[in-house]
Amino acid sequence: MNRQSDSNSSAPLGATASGSAPNAPVRYAPPRGHGARGDAALVTLMLIYGAASLLHFLHNAVYIHDYPNLPAWLTSGGVFAAWLVVAGVGVLGYLLYSRVSRVAGLIAIAAYAALGLGGLDHYTVAPVSAHTVAMNLTILLEAATAAVLLACVARSALSVKVLRAKLRG
């Protein structure tokens, strides 16, 4: 029996050259949210938010002693490590979304975006006026891109829910 090795093939897994496989499991592509354009938008927004997040964390690490009222135990290395954790959540979300489960992926991507709103915590320890223009720009850029990504995730989740309802009849 010939097995299809290309998982992107539209032929069922286990199909023979003649196309028949009586007891073979059928593999098909699951519904993809609201289509390829939606997937492209989600990935693009993840990358934009990731870049904004990296910019904020880099600025925070380089100018850590200039940020007002940060805890004394916080170091540049700790800031970089925190960004790696945040980025890891994003990568995990993308892998889940694209390879395992749309719903699980969207949940992880939503968590990734929500972490971007954490930059606003700077304003809980010092007012906006205590931060430099560059600090405020990086904080607000990260938060704004995270909010847009979160809105895209919500839209994708709604699309998945609507699609599933249509498939059930």
pLDDT one-digit tens code per residue, 147-157: 999 999 999 88
Token pair for residue 20?
Answer: 């028949």
Q: What is the pLDDT of residue 156?
A: 87
Interacting residues of 21 by C-beta distance below 8 A, sequence separation 6+: 1, 12, 14, 15
Q: What is the pLDDT of residue 124?
A: 93
Interacting residues of 106 by C-beta distance below 8 A, sequence separation 6+: 93, 97, 153, 156, 157, 160
Token pair for residue 75?
Answer: 């170091």
Where do the domains of the chain lie?
37-168
pLDDT one-digit tens code per residue, 49-70: 999 999 999 999 999 999 999 9
Distance, in Å, from the CA atom of 52 to the CA atom of 47, rounded to the nearest integer, reads: 9
Q: Are 57 and 115 in contact (CB under 8 A)?
A: no
Given pLDDT bands bounded at 50, 70 and 90, which one contains residue 142? very high
Q: What is the pLDDT of residue 36?
A: 58
Indicate if the pLDDT at residue 3 is higher than 60. Answer: no
